[in-house]
Each structure stands twice: as structure tokens, then as C-alpha cells.
Amino acid sequence: MIYYEDEKLTVRSMEEPDARVFTDEFTAQGWHPEVDGYLARLKDQAEGKCVALTAEFEGHPAGYVYVYLRPDEDGPFRGKDWPVIVDFNVLKKYQRRGIGSRLMDAAERIAGRYADTVCLGVGLCDSYGAAQRMYVRRGYIPDGSGVWYRGKQCVQYETVCTVDDDLILFLSKKLR
């Protein structure tokens, strides 16, 4: 399915060949993705749990995002039936071209079909700085539950030894 299209960019449903492209491209960036992770998300899409989106720039997969429609993960939004935007990524060589904004536009439109609020978690490492700024510009606000680590809420004066992708802040946005 096509969610957005112009002369250079298409946002469409993710397809199985995208899994290998993203695995190879993110590996070339120095990350360590596993193709099985992408295939698991595609399985979730086939089961109706999420919508998996790929942004294609000039015919090349450039980024992706997932919208989980009725998430069952632990966290501050559990039981609220708000869609969750998960694992938003744009390859470095395609950043700063509006691709991430178009992916988020499509993700928010999809989420808006299911609820008036959408939520997400963002990492606190500096590598998430661009995403943090983008989310704030798009109107996302912290939910007030503080920082979470590996699915558990951190409490005041608790020591969190590892600052990694699992140290996150949850944000939400009213869609209507």
C-alpha cells in the first residue's frame, strides 16, 4: 500500500526484501542489526498487529517505522489503547531530506485511525538527538513518568549503569 508519494519519495508498506536492504545498509553504518528483527516486524504486520512502513527515496529503501495498533508492552501507556510508533530510522546518507517527516506524517495518520493520541519512546543517548528534536517540533511531550530502562520505570536516586538504547523517555501527542 502507498501512504505518500511524490517525484522522489514513496512511503509504502514494508516488504520482505526491505529486511535485507536495511540489515546491509545499517551494518555498513556500523550498527549490528539482525535480519530476523525486520522479519519479526513483517510477521507482526501480517498478523495485523502493526503497520510497517518503508520510505523509498529515488527507488532505494531509505528509512522505516512501525506503528503498533494495540500494543501490549509494559510501560506508561499500557492499557490505554493508544498506538505506539516504534523503531523509527532513516539511513544516515538519506537524512535531512524530509524523509523522516514524511514517515512520521504517515505513521501519525495511521495512528489517528485508531485513537486520538499516539505515543512513542525515545532514547536518551546523544545518537537520538535528531529524533528528540524532531519529536518536540512535531508536538510530542513527555508523559511525566520519567525515565525508563529495559521496560522498568527508574526511581529517584536509582543508579542506571548503562546508557544504551534501552534508556528511554516516553512521549505522547494528541492527534485531534
Does 73 score more than 80 pLDDT? no
CATH number for the segment(s) 2-174? 3.40.630.30
56 touches 10 (CB < 8 A) = yes
Give 71's pLDDT tier (boundaries 50, 70, 90): confident
Give 70's pLDDT tier (boundaries 50, 70, 90): confident
Nearest-angstrom CA–CA distance, 48 and 69: 8
Give 75's pLDDT tier (boundaries 50, 70, 90): confident
Q: What's the pLDDT score for residue 5?
A: 97
Q: What's the pLDDT score for residue 160?
A: 82
What average pLDDT does the chain have?
Answer: 94
Nearest-angstrom CA–CA distance, 56 and 13: 10
Q: What's the pLDDT score for residue 106?
A: 98
